[in-house]
Chain A
């Protein structure tokens, strides 16, 4: 089967505008899961390519990050608070400060998605579609369970098909092909609306139950993330402590 990209784009555009027809079309399609998977991967790839181009342009528009790092460090160690601490705590403070400063520069550009790390941007060509597929599957399965508990009627593949269309707001990230464009919270908020529309159409739920089916999986996922991060921080700190002389 040859994918019809024009139809795909129309489907995503209409899903983005929260029209019920695309969601119904995917629910009634012979294989909603395969179509959904194709949609999610295609959007992930398009967004990753746009982001890569934006990262290259941003990298070119900024000074060399190694120089920035050096300039910031040289100025930090001349600041009054630093000199005061150095006088009080001696060389131990100097070593610890340098260690945490270097660690910060290694970790924060990745966490904050700072431009300049082209290798990381290249890796996103794989990581973005993969991440979208994983989050779609996890959310879709959780939402399906909640929707069925609330007397929803769709099968799992129909739920996954409809929630796959909630990937449509990711297309807004195409704007990041221009460096320094920040799409902010709009993608997350709009995704929630698309998920609501998808679950409502897939399961023929009234608004209240569709709302719960949309929101409860998000709350569960956030809870799991918070617990996971809280558990990982002490472990990470121990590892960092051990890796240093």
Chain B
């Protein structure tokens, strides 16, 4: 436990040794997947508890309608003549939600909440991997030395600061913590790319942001071309 906490502190304070240890671990990919899965489950836990508890209460159509109306209220001026259609659409949702499932409602809702909860590790790993594939390509094209194992292992450490999002449900504080977690995670990610590829900070930052830069450039080009043709 002591060693684990020391490693955790090392990652959060961007100590090179902590990243190198992960980079050189033979079971780095296994550890990476486990780390992201555990943190995603921690972060999604409050939502799961909320949905679980709600599932055991009988469906209160009047309360759900009042909540939906309250959420709609600030949007009313923007929606204008569409408001009646949106309201009718909400009605569809409420009537469908009120229909009884084949299983007893609490059991059915528990299964739904559990399914959504257990989907979170897949969503996190999917998002991490989809972005990482492009970063790996950028790093390789920039002369990086890191292989798949090294990149997967080190960049997974970005997820540690994301654990702060477990308090995401707290008003105001949740948003502030999200900004902190995102920024901290980004720094960890850049450090991870640097250690995995033997890059300096600027090169690692460029490799990390390269997919976004290419995407933004592509959007500008497409928008420009659309403007020309339009």
Point out residues on A near B: beta carbons under 8 Å: 17-18, 57-64, 67-68, 71-72, 75-76, 78-81, 172, 175, 178-186, 189-190, 192-193, 196-197, 207-208, 211
Contacts and interface: CB of A to CB of B under 8 A. Distances in A.
B10 interface: no
The 8 A-B residue pairs whose C-beta atoms are closest, nearest first, are: A180-B115, A63-B99, A186-B126, A61-B108, A185-B126, A189-B129, A79-B88, A75-B92
B96 A68 contact: yes
A190 B129 contact: yes
A178 B111 contact: yes
A71 B111 contact: no
Given A18-B149, A72-B96, A180-B116, A61 B88 contact: no
B169 interface: no
Given A61-B109, A71-B99, A179-B115, 17 more contacts: A18-B29, A60-B108, A61-B108, A62-B108, A71-B96, A75-B92, A80-B84, A80-B85, A81-B85, A178-B114, A178-B118, A179-B111, A180-B115, A181-B122, A183-B126, A186-B123, A211-B140
Contacts of A189: 126, 129-130, 133
Contacts of B29: 17-18
Nearest to A183: B122
A64 B96 contact: no
Interface of B: 27, 29-30, 84-85, 88-89, 91-92, 95-96, 99-103, 107-109, 111-112, 114-116, 118-119, 122-123, 125-127, 129-130, 133, 137, 140, 148-149, 152
Contacts of A193: 129, 133, 148
A181 B119 contact: yes
B85 A64 contact: no
A54 B109 CA distance: 15
Nearest to B122: A183
B100 A61 contact: no
A81 B126 CA distance: 39
A17 B129 CA distance: 13
A175 B122 contact: yes
21 contacts: A17-B29, A18-B152, A61-B101, A61-B103, A62-B108, A63-B101, A64-B99, A67-B99, A75-B92, A79-B88, A175-B118, A179-B111, A179-B115, A180-B114, A182-B115, A182-B122, A183-B126, A185-B127, A189-B130, A192-B133, A208-B140
A75 B122 contact: no
A82 to B, nearest CB: 9
B96 to A, nearest CB: 6
Contacts of B109: 61
Contacts of B108: 60-62
Contacts of A178: 111, 114-115, 118
Contacts of B100: 63
A95 B130 CA distance: 44
A78 B102 contact: no
Nearest to A207: B140
B118 A75 contact: no
Contacts of B92: 71-72, 75-76
B29 to A, nearest CB: 5
Contacts of A62: 101-102, 108
A242 B88 CA distance: 34
B116 A75 contact: no
Contacts of B88: 75, 78-80
A58 B101 CA distance: 10
Contacts of A63: 96, 99-102
Contacts of A211: 137, 140
A209 B99 CA distance: 56
Contacts of B30: 17
Nearest to B118: A181
Nearest to A193: B148
Contacts of A179: 111-112, 115
A74 to B, nearest CB: 9
Contacts of B101: 60-63
B111 A180 contact: yes
The interface centre, meaning the residue of B95, B107, B122 with most chain A CB atoms within 10 A of its CB, is B122
